[in-house]
Amino acid sequence: MLQIENLQVRIGDKEVLKGINMHIEEGETFILFGPNGSGKTTLLMTLMGFAGYEVTAGKIIFKGVDITSLPTYERARLGLGMSFQRPPTIHGLKTKHLVSMCARNRNIDVYAMAQSVNFDKFLDRDINAGFSGGEIKRSELLQLMAQNPDLILFDEPESGVDLENMALIGKTVRTLLDGACDPSPETCMRDLRRRHTTSGLIITHTGYILDYVNADRGQVMYNGVLCCDTRPTRPRDILDHITKFGYKECIRCLN
């Protein structure tokens, strides 16, 4: 699904990513850890192709296409989606209009979709205008449901979310990645999962999201490079490791 080779990225004069290699398989959910300022958000922004993130070396292959220099909307149309942490307010643009635009030519029931994330009452509000932290999360998820991407990038989906909303957001992220998970007489759970090919790349500090999604692999970003790619790659193990020993172990790993 996604293949990143020796990706180096500069913001202004600052070299932030210093040679990232990463691959994410179809249907796989990948967890990215790392201390503040290590370059996690920068990686997601670069994957989306936003201005200001200058790729100085390396390439990004998505679904077999080299997207390193494609404009953002072409990446989105290829099936790349992202949940924004601090999305801008667009005055006069109603949430329901944006949601239906996200679906492009697909037919969706905006209202029913919004109800499933408890967001139907916000459909007539201008997008992100005065939304609280948790409301932004639900709005982003709703847009992604409408967009239906093949790889979804989440930047700290649990930040600023209360416990009750965490369950809703966790379940919605899971649905987005794994599809509707109710087994039916014709299909068992295993087949359902196998048939669904949405991949995820999730940044988390707390790991709360791990209670909800089937995380397959993980790595730690440290100072613009990825480490822990040989040793524990199960996200739970990485989280336990960081919790016990802190990020200093990552430096050892690198040396």
Partner 1 sequence: MSQLTPQVDLEAYSFEGQESEELKDIDQVSDERKAELRMVGVDLDATRSRAGTFLQFDHSTVHCQSTGQGVEVLGIVQALKKYDGLPEYFWKALDKNHDEFTRAASQQDLHGGYFIRTQKGVKVPDPVQTCLFIKGEKVGQNVHNIVVVEEDSEVHIITGCATSHGVMSALHLGISEFYIKKGGKLTFTMVHNWGEEVMVRPRTVGIVEEKGVLQNNYVILKKVKSVESYPTIYLNGPGAIARFNSVIVTPTGSYIDSGNRIVLNAPNTRGEIISRAITTGGTNIARGEIIANAVPARGHLECKGLILGDGIIQAIPELQGRVAGVELSHEAAVGKIAQEEIEYLMARGLDEDEATSTIVRGFLNVDIMGLPKELQASIDQTIADLDASGGM
Ligand X SMILES: Nc1ncnc2c1ncn2[C@@H]1O[C@H](COP(=O)(O)OP(=O)(O)OP(=O)(O)O)[C@@H](O)[C@H]1O
Site for Mg ion, rule CB under 5 A = 41
Residues 155-214 that bind partner 1 (CB under 8 A): none
Nearer to ligand X, 146 or 202 (CB): 202
39 binds, among partner 1, Mg ion, ligand X, none (CB under 5 to 8 A by kind): ligand X
61-74 core/surface letters (b: 16 or more CB in 10 A; e: else) = ebeeeebbebeeee
Return the one option of ligand X, partner 1, Mg ion, none that residue 12 interacts with (CB less than 5 to 8 A, by type).
ligand X
| Contact status: 65 vs partner 1 (CB under 8 A) | no
Token pair 């794994």 is found at 178
User: Residue 221 carries which side chain, given as an amino acid letter?
Assistant: M
Closer residue to ligand X in complex, CB, 33/62: 33
- 48 touches partner 1 by CB under 8 A: yes
Nearest to 60 by CA among 20, 97, 120: 20
Looking at the Cβ atoms of 98 and 242, the one nearer to partner 1 is 98
Identify the CA nearest to 240 among candidates 220, 212, 214. 220
* Contacts (Cβ under 8 Å, ≥6 apart) of 97: none
Q: 221: which strand partners?
A: 226
Pairing verdict, β 151-155 and 199-203: parallel
Q: Within 146-165, which residues bind partner 1 (CB under 8 A)?
A: 147
Q: What are the Cα distances from residue 37, in Å, to 26, 71, 95, 221, 224?
A: 29, 26, 32, 10, 9
- Distance (Å, whole) CA 169 – CA 175: 10
Cβ distance to ligand X smaller for residue 14 or 252: 14
Contact pick of 61, 93, 108, 225 for partner 1 (by CB under 8 A): 93
88 DSSP assignment: P
242 binds partner 1 (CB under 8 A): no
Residue 77 binding partner 1, by CB under 8 A: yes
Is 101 one of the binding residues for partner 1 (CB under 8 A)? yes
Which amino acid appears at position 82 of this protein? M
Q: How many CB atoms lie within 10 A of CB 35?
A: 17
Q: Binding of partner 1 at residue 88 (CB under 8 A)? A: yes
Is 50 one of the binding residues for partner 1 (CB under 8 A)? yes
Q: Decide whether 53 or 212 has the Cβ nearer to partner 1.
A: 53
Among 98, 145, 203, 226, binds partner 1 (CB under 8 A): 98
**Binding residues for partner 1, per CB under 8 A?**
48, 50-51, 71-73, 76-77, 81-82, 84, 87-88, 90-93, 97-98, 101-102, 104, 126, 143, 147
